Amino acid sequence: MVINQSKLDNGLKLTIYRIIQEQISNILKHANARRIDLSIKQHRKKLTLMIMDNGKGFDPAAKHKGIGLTNIINRAEVFNGKVKIQSAPGEGCLLQVTFDK
């Protein structure tokens, strides 16, 4: 489905942009990935952002020194977004952020 950007709140558009920016920065700094896949899809009243890489991965349950993932989670929460992170050492990473519209 094509996303009608004119119906999206400008703050939400900026939040999505900043989340993408933060995650790509994380990937470039830490993942040593050769590929990044990004998609934004709308289905009914949900908007889903997915960013996947084929980098070195990490344990999402482990403590991390940086604030990158915390920033992503905090930005998403402003618009009632839910963040899911699937990763494991050697398995890359999938970041999924879902917003109810």
User: What confidence score (pLDDT) does residue 2 get?
Assistant: 61
What are the tokens at 58? 């990490």
User: What confidence score (pLDDT) does residue 19 get?
Assistant: 98
User: What confidence score (pLDDT) does residue 29 get?
Assistant: 94
pLDDT tens series, the chain, 101 aa: 567 676 788 999 999 999 999 999 999 999 999 999 999 999 988 999 999 999 999 998 888 767 899 999 999 999 999 999 999 999 999 999 999 97
For residue 36, the one-letter residue type is: I
Q: What is the pTM of this model?
A: 0.92
CB 98 within 8 A of CB 47: yes
Domains of the chain and any CATH numbers:
5-100 (3.30.565.10)
